[in-house]
Structure 1
Amino acid sequence: MFGLFKKKEPPKAPSKRFPPVPDWQPSIAQPLDLIIDRIRHYTDGERDFAVFNNGTAVILPNGLSDEQAVSHATESLHKVFHAHPDMHPLAMKDGNILVRYNHDVLNVVLSEVTTANWQEIEQQHQRAIATDEVLITPLGHNRFDEFGMKALFGRCFMFMDAQAPKVVRIARSAA
């Protein structure tokens, strides 16, 4: 009688991406040459590092071959992505933001890029939070000031690089 005794299928849960990622993938590109210049400056030119397609960098042990450097960088980024990607943003004296993660993975958020794209960053920053993620700030849960919005913007590049890792440059120390 009208499906009264028909076995009901359980409702389908919305599919969740794992690892969780933000919805926002900025189309804004940061110039890799400037990112490399800033990382060289921040490390006093004393460290090797690998740079991924969207500007995420991994500080490397000095002396690795190119093949070892790519392998080390890719593995480090994988470890951050498949754990909780805790970020530790730091305001730099030059106005940029250095977003640090575990395993010597980092992003540089260039001040000239954020200034030129501030309206989009401000509008999209909530989409930079990963699925079901809660970030606690002094303003409350998932509430961000300008510094936090810029850090979230920079973290988007780490997620983009982690989902399609491609090392595009290996920068060697000056020593």
Structure 2
Amino acid sequence: MFGLFKKKEPPSEPPKRFPPVPDWRPSIVQPLDRIIERVRHYTNAKRDFAVFAHGTAVLLPDGLTDAQAESHAREALHRVFHAHADMHPMNMKDGNVFVGYKHDVLNVVLSEVAAAHWQEIVEQHQRAIATHEVLLTPLGPNKFDKLGMKGLFGRCFMFMDAQAPQVVRVERSV
């Protein structure tokens, strides 16, 4: 009878989530005070920035009130999250990794945190790739060196912050 009692076949692949997110949600916590101190250092204390609960930071235009700063930060993070979250990881002179995105959104992977959890980062970095995502690197599609693995680790925090955006601090330039 028109397939009413026909057994449904299970989907051949997991349903697509939009926006796509990685499976890995690290339980590792980076100290926000250290991240704030490093962002302040990297900007020569000349930029205002907002910080989300998992450490994602957004550089702000000058002259915003706290309410405007929070709104701007949430909108910038939303725009990164709802587009392709291309990351640009860079090794910093202090050993940390700066992970930049469009719209002045960034993460910092602290060298001491990465070193303390390196084995987990190596084991889990492929789970930090969003569903159906292909990232092209010099090593090939979805193949990562140490910098790329740390970048993926840092990007997980951006995804976590974007899914539950909570600005916890607005830091002002000096």
SS at match of 2:85: coil
SS at match of 1:95: coil
Match of 2:56 in 1: 56
Q: Report the alpha carbon displacement of residue 30 of structure 1 after superposing the two structures with TM.
A: 0.4
Match of 2:21 in 1: 21
For residues 62 and 97 of structure 2, the distance between their equivalents in structure 1, rounded to whole angstroms, comes to 24
Question: How many residue pairs end up in the alignment?
Answer: 170
For residues 166 and 84 of structure 1, the distance between their equivalents in structure 2, rounded to whole angstroms, comes to 21
* TM-score, normalising length: structure 1: 0.93
Unaligned runs of 5+ in 2: none
Match of 1:131 in 2: 131
Q: Report the alpha carbon displacement of residue 141 of structure 1 after superposing the two structures with TM.
A: 1.0
Q: Report the alpha carbon displacement of residue 140 of structure 1 after superposing the two structures with TM.
A: 1.1
SS at match of 1:79: helix
For residues 2 and 160 of structure 2, the distance between their equivalents in structure 1, rounded to whole angstroms, comes to 45
Match of 1:36 in 2: 36
Match of 1:160 in 2: 160
SS at match of 1:23: coil
Unaligned runs of 5+ in 1: none
* Deviations, residues 102-126 of structure 1 (Å, cap 9, x unaligned): 0000000100000000011010000
Q: Is the counterpart of residue 95 in structure 1 residue 95 in structure 2?
A: yes
Give the partner amino acid of 2:67. Answer: E
Match of 1:80 in 2: 80
* TM-score, normalising length: structure 2: 0.94
Q: Report the alpha carbon displacement of residue 10 of structure 1 after superposing the two structures with TM.
A: 6.4
Give the partner amino acid of 2:57. Answer: A
Q: Percent sequence identity over matched residues?
A: 71
For residues 73 and 138 of structure 1, the distance between their equivalents in structure 2, rounded to whole angstroms, comes to 32
